[in-house]
Amino acid sequence: MELKPSLSRQQTYKCLILGDSGVGKSTFLRRHATGQFRDEHVPTKGVQVYTLLLQTNYQDLALELWDVAGDERHGGLLNGYFFFAQCAIIMFDLNVARSAISVARWLHSLEQICGKQLPVVICGNKSELERMPLDLLYHQQGNLDYCEMSARVAWNLEAPLELLCRRLLQRNDLKLISQPTLRPIASCSCDEAEMRQHMEQVRQQILPEKSEETFSYKGGNFKDCIVLN
Ligand code: GDP
């Protein structure tokens, strides 16, 4: 994927990258923008915007990816950044229960400002590590989708972007073409089949038709923490 900030506005979609600090948002963006991976966690200051040009089997489009810093994200400061967003990725760390619990809060804040029709992909990162016991439930209603990836081993990095493009262009068979060949970090190993199987299991845990919840996490001591109305 190529960095190309000069596309016309009609082809450019503003996309927020939300999620708790440390889940891998900046790493995900850096991997796409430069191919690099950094082991240390450097909290984002202010807001960083990357524009990725995506080529699909239908048309080219650009996603303007907004990585917003700090815990003020749940408060007033963040709201300004939400304006005019056209889609979002809400990321969590598959190994940190609290970050999964936060997903519902992020979704709630987003929906309050941008409405429920916004295409959103919930994305579990660090899938190459041993996962926390996870019982994620999600409702594939409206514009909500789910995927897992590992920025470290460069596995499934395009999935959140492809899922968003499908919804933005309303083409279920859309595919990204000319994907980058990002290399895993040396000394990283992963079981791709196992990672894919886990993701598919979660994708199949679809909530009943009438439920008000769109995403929930039940596990450990956090049983009742997420109920999204
Ligand atoms: P942010 O605060 O959400 O932007 O998080 P960062 O992108 O700064 O990442 C936080 C930490 O997680 C850094 O130490 C990264 O190296 C690490 N990290 C990011 N993605 C992965 C991944 O897929 N696997 C592993 N094991 N670590 C990752």
Q: Express as a percent the part of the chain with pLDDT over 90.
A: 28
* 227 phi and psi angles, rounded to 5 deg: -135, 115
Residue 68 β-bridge partners: 47
What is the tens place of the pLDDT at every residue in 15-49? 999 999 999 999 998 887 766 666 666 666 677 88
* pLDDT average, residue stretch 134-157: 76
CA angle 157, 163, 165 (to 5 degrees): 105
Contact (CB, 8 A) for 66 and 17: yes
Contact (CB, 8 A) for 37 and 52: no
Distance CA 25, CA 70 (A): 12
Task: Tell me the residue ranges of DSSP E strands in 57-112.
Answer: 60-68, 87-93
Mean pLDDT of the chain: 76
Amino acid 101: pLDDT: 81
Look up residue 132 and give its two tokens: 């926390």
What is the tens place of the pLDDT at every residue in 53-70? 888 999 999 899 998 765
Distance, CA 27 to ligand 1 centroid (Å)?
Answer: 6
| pTM of the shown model | 0.81
Q: Express as a percent the part of the chain with pLDDT over 70.
A: 66
> For ligand 1, which residues put their CB under 6 angstroms from it?
19, 21-27, 38-44, 125-126, 128-129, 150-152
Amino acid 210: pLDDT: 47
User: Is the confidence at residue 224, as pLDDT, over 50?
Assistant: no
Range name among 94-98, 143-147, 153-157, 183-187 with the lowest pLDDT average: 183-187
What is the tens place of the pLDDT at every residue in 75-129? 545 667 888 899 999 999 998 888 888 888 888 888 888 888 899 999 999 999 8
Closest ligand 1 atom to Cα of 149: 23
Domains defined along the chain, listed by start? 2-227 (3.40.50.300)
Amino acid 32: pLDDT: 77
Amino acid 180: pLDDT: 60
130-169 burial string, b = 16+ CB within 10 Å, else e? eebebebbbbeeebbbbbbbbbbbbbbbbbbbbbbbbbbe
CA-nearest of 122, 96, 102 to 17 is 122
Distance, CA 39 to ligand 1 centroid (Å)?
Answer: 7
Closest ligand 1 atom to Cα of 150: 23
Closest ligand 1 atom to Cα of 19: 3
Closest ligand 1 atom to Cα of 20: 3
Ligand 1: which of 27, 30, 148, 149 to mutate, most ligand atoms within 8 Å of CB?
A: 27
Distance, CA 208 to ligand 1 centroid (Å)?
Answer: 34
* pLDDT average, residue stretch 167-191: 78
Contact (CB, 8 A) for 149 and 155: yes
Amino acid 19: pLDDT: 92
Distance CA 216, CA 227 (A): 6
Give the rounded distance of the alpha carbon of 58 from its chain centre. Answer: 22
The DSSP symbol for 183 reads P
